[in-house]
Amino acid sequence: MGGDIHWTDRLSLTRAQWVEQLDRPGVETWVAYDRGTPAGYVELDPQEDGVVEIMYFGLLPDFRGRRIGGHLLSVGVARAWSLAERWPEREPTRRVWVHTCSQDGPTAMSNYERRGFKVFRTETEEKEETPTPGPWPGA
């Protein structure tokens, strides 16, 4: 997921580091399936003071443009707001946020806005063009 749009920040993690990252209390990953095939996922990352970040949200390329993303994002946002119901040690959610960038799909921003997100801050950053990494080593 995300190889075609350069999601590379976890490629260097070992399996143990990956498990440690995802095994923290309150971290949740919700997967969308299309006829039994994983189509995409949304990962929730609880933070301090009742804040939940949508850490990752995306669809595999073959499932984009099929109206799956809007539904998946709606489910992810609802799950973010109700996180404390499933994790009583967490504070009730008071803010849900997400990063996006120009490498995300052309409908990403409008999808976020339709689910109630508003632009909080924009930044400009130069990135060196790199080849699409594809799957992680050993996949």
Residue 123 lies in a domain: no
Residue 22 lies in a domain: yes
Residue 128 lies in a domain: no
Residue 13 lies in a domain: yes
- Can you give the pLDDT of all 139 residues of the chain as single tens digits? 565 655 666 677 788 988 998 899 999 999 999 999 999 999 999 999 999 999 989 888 889 888 899 999 999 999 999 999 999 999 999 999 998 877 777 788 888 999 999 998 888 877 776 665 555 554 4
Three-class secondary structure of residue 134 per DSSP? coil
Measured between alpha carbons, how far is 107 from 52 in angstroms, rounded to an integer? 23
Identify the domain containing residue 89 by its residue range.
Answer: 3-114
Residue-level length of the chain: 139
Which CATH number do you get for residue 84? 3.40.630.30
Residue 121 lies in a domain: no
Q: Is the pTM of this model over 0.85?
A: no
Residue 10 lies in a domain: yes
